[in-house]
Amino acid sequence: LYIVQARPETVQARRDVHILEEFKIKHKGEVLIHGQAVGSKIGIGTLRVIKDVSGLATFKAGEILATEMTDPDWEPIMKLASGIVTNAGGRTCHAAIVARELGIPAIVGTKNATELLKTGTLATVSCAEGDVGFVYKGKATYSVIRHDLRKLPKTRTKIMMNLASPEKAFMDSFIPNAGVGLAREEFIINTFIQIHPLALVNYSSITDARVKAKIDALTLDYQDKAQFFVDKLALGVGRIAAAFYPKDVIVRMSDFKTNEYANLIGGAAYEPQEDNPMIGWRGASRYYDEKYVAGFSLECRAMKKAREVMGLTNIKLMVPFCRTVEEGKSVLAVMSRHGLKRGVKNLEVYVMAEIPSNVLLAKEFAKIFDGFSIGSNDLTQLVLGVDRDSELVAHIYDENNAAVKKMISDLIKTAKAAGRKVGICGQAPSDYPEFAAWLSQEGIDSMSLTPDSVVSVIERVAKAERKK
């Protein structure tokens, strides 16, 4: 073990680790700029744009610092800031690291904050709205709820988390949880890989010089371009699984739609134009299709590496948008050929229950999968026949609709009768606490929620379980 860096301790040792602060923004002004959120707090102050160290002396305590990038020379004024905004950097840059240590909200990677933001403007820095942070004009109103984790009740229902970002996994793991019920691959592919898997598999056949140049820039150290995909995906998933080890981390295999795959570097050459990608060539239907199976094989190799080379056997896998039992069998056969055989080395494979056929034929699906995870977002739109991306019918889209709840209730009963696990990873229990209470009363095994809603849902579920 080597110490490779030593730096002054900031505020972490004085922080009460038993208290979780939850920031909720209420009223906000015009969005001035956005970038990657660091932390989950909100800060208000007057903007101070400083383009280089010569301007450090102008900074006043309580102001919001906006600059290109910071380094250790900036730390004395960073400690005085109510918020930090940078043009460059990611969640592991100097500004992000120091902001976390100081407990100050920061937004990094905005590209042009120093041009768009003006010194003297009253503004609000909000990192309380997920992965994206916003700078709002004026003074926003917000509330802070302080949860004492020592007083948090225990629940029969497992409360898990939905995660996408490996960079936030270790921080989120400190929130009370029973593991990760949905780890999405899409964020890792979009952010850290950026390249269509088939463009890497068929790298030598690419004739578009611009596409090839972009791939070369990202895969500089790789002779085998496909291995780049495998390594990056394994690393991203591995960071999430390591943060929560030995708790279960259920990784959903990629569920991009064709238009989303086409946006990846080199993707346009491999993706068809579909009128309705939401119900088109997505999920399970791609995995065994000869037009895409070579791309899916890279995902399988990555999951095998994370489980067997990294030793993260808490990783479970999940197949999305599986329309038929026969399709499920085809996907499992492809996974098995690539070393991911259900039941071998304790590998469990789940299926998303997000299509009416998954519910109607749940007894048959239960014979080939280890459990179900209800995707209430897609299930709602397909039960009600509503395009969830259409504003015209948005008022009809409702997870609390009796037809949707009957589907969910029926699935829970069938899964239980078959001895299979059943959980939910859709948005509904995060958005509607009463929906979470209803699920608990129905006897669901687990709920997977956005990290910011975990504590409040635990309290609501515990109350519902006491009434049951």
User: Is 322 an active-site residue?
Assistant: no
The one catalytic residue among 18, 94, 127, 300: 94
Same structural domain, 91 and 178: no
- Which of residues 148, 166, 184 is at a domain's end? 148
CA distance linking residue 90 with residue 452, whole number of Å: 21
pLDDT, position 120: 96
Same structural domain, 32 and 92: yes
Residue 382 near residue 283 (C-beta atoms within 8 A): no
Distances from the Cα of 174 to the Cα of 14, 177, 459, angstroms: 17, 8, 17
The one catalytic residue among 93, 127, 300, 425: 425
pLDDT, position 192: 93
Residue 446 near residue 181 (C-beta atoms within 8 A): yes
Same structural domain, 105 and 178: no
- Which of residues 114, 148, 182 is at a domain's end? 148
Same structural domain, 325 and 454: yes
Q: Is residue 1 part of a domain?
A: no
pLDDT, position 2: 80
Residue-wise pLDDT tens digits, 149-174: 888 899 999 999 999 889 889 988 98
Residue-wise pLDDT tens digits, 355-390: 999 999 999 999 999 999 999 999 999 999 998 777
Same structural domain, 347 and 225: yes
pLDDT, position 98: 86
pLDDT, position 39: 83
Domain of residue 239 covers 152-467
Same structural domain, 396 and 252: yes
Q: Is residue 239 part of a domain?
A: yes
Tokens 């119900």 correspond to 279
Report residue 451: phi and psi, to 5°.
Answer: -55, -35
Tokens of 244: 């929560």
Same structural domain, 42 and 160: no
User: Is 425 an active-site residue?
Assistant: yes
pLDDT, position 6: 63
Q: Is residue 187 part of a domain?
A: yes
Q: Is residue 431 part of a domain?
A: yes
What CATH number is attached to the domain comprising 418?
Answer: 3.20.20.60
pLDDT, position 389: 75
Report, as ranges of residue numbers, the positions in the chain whose pLDDT lies below 50. Answer: 13
Same structural domain, 204 and 305: yes
3 state SS of 191: helix
Same structural domain, 104 and 216: no
Distances from the Cα of 121 to the Cα of 74, 136, 184, 330, angstroms: 21, 10, 38, 59
- Count of the separate structural domains present in the chain: 2
Same structural domain, 99 and 230: no
pLDDT, position 15: 57
Same structural domain, 171 and 54: no
Tokens of 22: 């939850």
Q: Could you tell me how far CA 282 lies from the centroid of its own chain?
A: 19
Tokens 């998954």 correspond to 358
What CATH number is attached to the domain comprising 49?
Answer: 3.50.30.10
- Which of residues 104, 132, 148 is at a domain's end? 148
Same structural domain, 240 and 116: no
